[in-house]
Structures are given as C-alpha cells and as structure tokens.
Amino acid sequence: MADVLDVPEQRAAQAEFPRILGDIGGELRGPTLVCVGGLHGNEPSGVHGLQRVIRKLEADRTGLQGRILALTGNRKGLAADERYLAHDLNRAWTPERLARVHADEDAVTDEDAELLELETLIAEAIDQAPGYAALFDLHSTSGGGAPFVTMDDTLANRALAFKVPAPHVLGLEEELAGTMLGYWIERGVPAVGFESGQHQDPGSVDRAEAATWIVLETSGVVARGSRPEMDNARQLLRRTAEGLPEVVEVRYREPVVNGQPFRMRPGYVSFQRVRSGEVLADNGNHEITSPENGMILMPLYQKQGEDGFFIIRSVRPFWLRISALLRHMRVDRFVHWLPGVKRHPKLPGAFLVDRRRARWFALEVFHLLGFRRAAKTREHLVVTPREPRRRKRLTT
C-alpha cells in the first residue's frame, strides 16, 4: 500500500528524517550508489521510497554485492513542508558557493548547512568506493503527469539511466545552473535524477521505490536477477510510460523571476501536447504562450520555483546511436576545423561558435558530438564537453 503523504502525522514524521536513511554493504568491494531524496522540502516521496528500499535490504540482503548510501536532502525544508527556506538547495551546487560556505561555516543559511553536510557525505562515499560509484537524485513535481528520468547526456549516464523504463529528458542542465547532479557530473561521477510524479500522489512513493531498485541493479550494487522486487518495479514504470516517447529534449524554458505573479493555466500535466501560440500561463496582465509545437514538462503549480514550464520534443533513437558512435570515434577533436568554430581562449575543452559564420551548424550538431551549451550571446555560443573528466579524489 502506498504511503499517504498529505496528512498531519506524515508531515510531522518528516521533521524526524535523519540525514542518513541507510548505509548498507559498506564492507563489500562492489559498486557504490549514493541516493538522495527530498532535496526540495516539499518533495518527500523520494525519502519514503528510499526508506522502503532500506528496510527491505536490512531484512534481506540477498544479491547485495556493493554499497547503497541513502541520504535525506533538505531536512529543514521537509520539516516545514516548503521547497526551501532561504534559497533553492538544488541551485546551490556551484564551486563558488561551496568555497564561500566552507570559508565561513558559522555564517551559513539553512540550505548552506544542508549543502555542506551533503557534499561531505557524498564525497566521502565516492572516495571510499573501490570502483564504480554513481549518484541517484529523487524528486517529484507540482503538476501531474508520468514520471521521468533527468540526465546530462553522457555515455556513462545513458548506461545507468536507459534501463529505467520511463521517458528520459535531455538538456535540462543547459537551462538550470547549480544543480546537485551537474556538480557531481563535472567531477566525473555518473549522476541521474528521477521525477516520480506529483508531490502528494501516494503513487509517487511506489514509483520512487521502483526506480531505485532498477538503478541498484543497473549499477551492480545488487546482482542482476537476484531480487524479487525487480519485476514489479519494471512493470509499474512500463505501465506509466505507455504511449510516451523514450527520449525527449528540452527546447524552451519559461523563467519565473522572483516576485513575478506567475500563474499557470489549470489542467496541464507533463507530456501533454501543446500548440505554438497556445496560452499556458499568465504573468500579471500578460499572457504567456507556447513558443512552438511540442509537449509541456513540469508546469508550475506551487508558490516557490524559478521554472514556469518547459517545452520538449521527441528525439529519435537513431540520433542517439549516431551520437554514441561519433563520441567513441572522438570526432570532437576536429570541431575547431569547422568554419566559425575555434577553441575557447580560457576554458579548456570549450569552443567559441560564431553564430553568424557557423549558422549552418545548429546546437543539435554539437549535442551529437557530446557538447552542451554553456553560454550564449548575440554573437557566440560557448559549448563545453559533456563527457566528464576521469573521477579524481574529492576529499582532502
């Protein structure tokens, strides 16, 4: 039976979530999976899903051949049932901010204290891993719709994420700065996220648990075919993904500036088709329309949040196979030979793309070759490699 999320007793229990929900298998020499739930305080389903997995593994360790470390994200936000208190914890993972809070730990905000604890625990777990280590981040959404996987499109992330039978969303990292996944990917750690459904939907807990079991098996923390939970997990997610595209990419983000009176029109859910010019939301007296035909993703139906909605479109599997081939061939080494493309003078591995001279080389071409858009001006695109550098020691 699914956990009931929207009752006073459940909310009171959220105030008691420990930072470490469970740490099982640390004495083994296999892979390590670090799981985080509740990075946003109004999204408890991931924490409840992880608690279920931990309870079952504590009772029966059949097939366990690695380590799972399950963590609570924003503990104070969860206790208050608020997305965040001072600032968004999933927009705070930048080297600059972490350097500041490390330098003055006595003057940090609530979310900064959470950030420090999480970074320390994750870094220690990854450094202690004898081999493969990955990160799994569990979320939910304010609007309804099917669950989905979020991922920076690296080959390592594909290997981890594509076993989860749900739509896979590419390109969010180009729109969102300071995410936890982005921070660890830059440090060479495979890292994917899962949006399990609407915040208060009890089924979101079921789906968070299901996705965690699948990622545990895919990462090798539990042996393939060893757990009875796997078949039910796959069947559950396949049912919710029926009729939806396997892979989509983000085409547009509607930002919400702090203090704006953004109001989503009622009734929209993720993966619902929308038409160019369709009115989706209001901003005071101004109507906000879809910039193109596509599908809507994560329409905002809550007070806090900086993203009103996203517009997405399907990606044909053929192009993913081509991009994998091009990356294995290291075609990216010859990008600077293209007209209007040159190496960035300050960023190693990055390229400056003259948008006038290289107008025939759309951003999608650079996506195929394993690059992401890091910045855009009127004259130039800055693209940086998606494939991360080799993992290095993270703690000192």
Q: What is the mean pLDDT of residues 123-151?
A: 96
* Same domain flag for 282 and 378: no
* Same-domain pairing of 200 and 335: no
Q: 292 is in which domain, residue-wise?
A: 249-314
Q: Is residue 392 part of a domain?
A: no
Per-residue pLDDT band for 360 (boundaries 50, 70, 90) equals low
288 plus 377 within the same structural domain? no
Q: What percentage of the chain exceeds 70 in pLDDT?
A: 92
394 in any annotated domain: no
Q: Is residue 1 part of a domain?
A: no
Residue 3 domain-assigned (yes or no) = no
Exposed, middle or buried, 102 (CB in 10 Å: 0-12/13-18/19+)?
middle
**Are residues 49 and 187 part of one domain?**
yes
Which tens digit of pLDDT belongs to each residue from 47-71? 999 999 999 999 999 999 999 999 9
Q: Which domain CATH number covers 209?
A: 3.40.630.10
What gap in Å lies between CA 307 and CA 396, rounded to an integer?
Answer: 36
- Does 198 fall in a domain? yes
Residues 265 and 336 placed together within one structural domain of the fold: no
Q: Check whether 247 has a pLDDT greater than 90.
A: yes
Kindly report the average pLDDT of the chain as a whole number: 90
pLDDT for 105: 76
Residues forming a β-bridge with 137: 36, 193
Instruction: Write down the pTM of the prediction.
Output: 0.90
Residues 193 and 285 in one domain: no
pLDDT tens digit string along 156-195?
Answer: 999 999 999 999 999 998 899 999 999 999 999 999 999 9
174 & 28 share domain = yes
| Same domain, yes or no: 305 and 181 | no
Q: What is the CATH number of the domain that holds 287?
A: 2.40.50
Token digits of residue 367: 């996506």
Of the residues 241, 266, 297, the one at which a domain ends: 241
Q: What is the pLDDT of residue 1?
A: 35
Residue 75 is assigned to a structural domain of this protein: yes
Count of the separate structural domains present in the chain: 3
Residues 345 and 356 in one domain: yes
Same domain for 157 and 117: yes
Residue 391 inside a domain? The answer is no
Boundary of a domain, candidates 187, 217, 241: 241
Per-residue pLDDT tens for 207-234? Answer: 999 999 999 999 999 999 999 999 999 9
Specify if 390 maps to a domain.
no
Domain end point (choices 298, 314, 330):
314
Residues 163 and 261 in one domain: no
Q: Are residues 151 and 257 in the same domain?
A: no
For position 7, what pLDDT does the model report?
A: 44
**Each residue's pLDDT tens digit, 372-382:** 888 887 788 88
Strand order in the sheet with 307-314: 20-24, 67-72, 32-37, 133-141, 191-198, 148-151, 168-170, 247-255, 307-314, 294-297, 273-274
